[in-house]
Amino acid sequence: MADLTPTPDRPGLHVSKPSPDAPATASAVCHCGARATATGDSQVKALVDGYTANHGPAHRKGR
């Protein structure tokens, strides 16, 4: 299986939750240079919400 972790060369958002009992984890890298990681369901949700609102898709809206 390919490594889905975002990098500066392949920006994006990756979320993982291997089982219902395990905490979610996430990593995000934006082409603007911002990067973040989170562990725990509520922290991951906040990261996804922030990335979606301020990076990734948000940058495309201004183009």
pLDDT over 70 (residue 62): no
pLDDT of 12-52, one tens digit each? 999 999 999 999 999 999 988 899 999 999 999 999 999 99
pLDDT over 70 (residue 63): no
What is the token pair recorded at 3?
A: 């490594």
Q: What is the per-residue pLDDT for 60?
A: 66
pLDDT over 70 (residue 61): no
Cβ atoms within 10 Å, residue 54: 13
Contact 20, 11 (CB under 8 A): no
